[in-house]
Chains A and B, each alone.
Chain A
Amino acid sequence: MAELLTDDLATEIMTVNIGPHHPATHGVLRLIVDLEGEVVRDLKPVIGYVHTGIEKSCEDKSYWKVIPFVERMDYVSYFFQMEAYCGAVERLVGLEIPPRAKYLRTIFLELNRIHSHLVWLGTTALDLGAISMLWYCFRERDRILDLFEMATGQRMHTRYFQVGGVIEDIPLGFEAKLREFIAEMPVRVAQYQALLDRNEVFLQRTKGVGIVSRERLLELGVTGPLLRAAGEPWDLRKTFDYLAYPEMDFQIPVGTVGDNYDRYRVRVAEMVESTRIVEQALDLMEEGPFIADDRKYVLPPRSELSTSMESLIHHFKLVTEGFRVDPGEVYYAIESPRGELGCFVLADGSSKPSRVHFRDPSFVNLQAFRDMAFGTYIADMICSLGMLDPILGGVDR
């Protein structure tokens, strides 16, 4: 055997196809990898396997009917898609949302952020062999889904946010259940950390792996926890003024090295910060309307339909044709669990958007994958892909 391992053989490059149906690619992602032995020498992601033309379909729907479509792009952070779209339309029509709606939206966004990070942590730890993490993370994730179901009637794809606010107030008993959850969540996060932080296998697999400098990340347009793990404290919740975030007291966790371990630490710390935001929003939230009182854009309350002709007309107009939006275009970006989620809406004066475009963070961040995996072992490439946390529904749209 020894004479077979000559230099020629050792440097032979082998091209391997991974995916699109591979459990470690976290969705329908195909990778064409050039390997030298076990070392990744080049890599090309091939995407588009779950492209469903959502952006095109949105052009055929009136503004309020677009909401359930956009939710299904990044199917793990559906509240964020709704907020990006509804926020963009609100800016187009110049609609202010009432304070209670701001807090409610903030609460559900942050719950969704915890939910998204839990799915990430469970599946990524699973890639590294930590099978029990999946069960623990999905146990807490299920409690979040229970909360979603209680408030909105759906566990996923809730269609809770409306142009102008939210569709319904939270039900009785929700607040108590939510407070119970956010009191418990930091304890659970500490348990995850106890399982992973001093786990020799986990540390060896993540520390010093997949380092990309922050200058390079910025060039590649990477945002979110990946950028923060490289030491750049950039978070749209702090920098731009939207929803109730300016009033919230929370911190932006950042890493130092920018390796996979920092990415893990940043996301886990973000879960704790999110529980703080939810708690403050619950404390600050006061009784009041949960949706704007503008009958041109917002459905009238159900009770008015049997007594007021005006309301019935508005209801009929809104449900059949939808509201019209004056020509104009808006780009509205929020901080999703994966980075900057931007929504561009172009209105042409009709009741249907003429263009809806999502700047999906997974799509843009995926460009950094080659840099993360270059020169590492193929097993570390799988780890880096998990730490990148792409949602292929968002990548392909």
Chain B
Amino acid sequence: MPDAPGLELIRGEIERDCPGAVLATSFDRAQPALVVDAEQILAVLTWLRDTPGQHYRFLSSLHVADYLPATPRFGVHYELLNRDRVERIRVKAMLADPAGDALPEIDSCVELFPTAEFQEREAFDFFGIVFRGHPDMTRILLPDDYVGWPQRRDFPIGGEPVTFTYNERNYG
């Protein structure tokens, strides 16, 4: 893992090449993380992947966390791995919840990391985050006609109606 000063060095170098991209850094529980501007996520990921001396070429995991009631609400996490130096770094893009029925959007990184294809679909499926430029932005685990984004924090547990109601109908 890059240590805390190493993380600041990375931040400084990104700042030189893509000004304003990194909003903050954190070094919580010895895990380095960069909080980046969601509009520049592809620039930062490309930089981390291709810059000589960085080579975070492996995307371990892409997942979303809902930080409700904090704003901005959604965090898209990219767990990057440099396999030569055996170092992990987390890139977080925070997305605000747009008003009404609109869905938060971010650029898809499938072109950079083909492994993200399923994981971005999963993020869309459960959190309703649209990845712009994804080749097939459809639900992956839930049925296509499902309504709602069940892993958001304001979606209640038990919010799913029970479809097998035989006993309820006949004896309830």
Which residues of A pack against B, CB within 8 Å?
47-48, 51, 53, 55-57, 59-60, 91-92, 94, 218-222, 234, 239-240, 328-331, 333, 340, 342, 344, 346, 354-355, 357, 359, 363-364, 366-367, 396-397
Contact = CB atoms under 8 A, between A and B. Distances in A.
A355 B63 CA distance: 10
A222 to B, nearest CB: 8
A44 to B, nearest CB: 9
A344 B77 contact: yes
A366 to B, nearest CB: 7
Given A48-B142, A53-B150, A56-B151, A92 B119 contact: no
Contacts of A366: 118
B141 A359 contact: no
B141 A240 contact: no
A53 B77 CA distance: 20
11 contacts: A48-B139, A48-B142, A59-B153, A220-B115, A329-B29, A333-B60, A342-B61, A346-B65, A346-B67, A359-B61, A363-B119
Interface in B35-57: 57
Contacts of A340: 60
Contact of A240 (B66, B86, B126, B139): B86
Contact of A331 (B61, B141, B150): B61
A151 to B, nearest CB: 31
A329 B79 contact: no
B22 interface: no
B60 A328 contact: no
Given A56-B157, A330-B29, A364 B115 contact: yes
A331 B59 contact: no
Contacts of B77: 331, 344
A329 B155 CA distance: 21
A331 B88 contact: yes
A47 B140 contact: yes
Contacts of A346: 65, 67
Contacts of B172: none
B118 A59 contact: no
A92 B118 CA distance: 28
Nearest to A359: B61
Contacts of A91: 29
A354 B153 contact: yes
B151 to A, nearest CB: 6
A331 B26 CA distance: 14
Contacts of A396: 141
A397 B67 CA distance: 22
B115 A219 contact: yes
Given A359-B63, A363-B119, 7 more contacts: A48-B140, A53-B150, A329-B28, A329-B65, A355-B66, A367-B114, A367-B117
B83 interface: yes
A56 B140 contact: no
A346 to B, nearest CB: 5
B19 interface: no
B119 to A, nearest CB: 7
Contacts of A329: 28-29, 31, 65
Contacts of A331: 31, 60-61, 77, 79, 88, 90
**CB-based closest 8 A-B pairs:** A221-B115, A48-B141, A359-B61, A51-B141, A357-B63, A355-B65, A239-B86, A219-B114
Contacts of B57: 218
Interface in B133-172: 139-143, 150-151, 153, 155, 157, 160
Contacts of A59: 153, 157
B61 A220 contact: no
Given A48-B142, A91-B29, A364-B115, A354 B65 contact: yes
Contact of A364 (B31, B67, B90, B119): B119
A342 B118 contact: no
B56 to A, nearest CB: 13
A347 B75 CA distance: 14
Contact of A367 (B86, B88, B118, B139): B118
Contacts of B86: 239-240
A337 B25 CA distance: 34
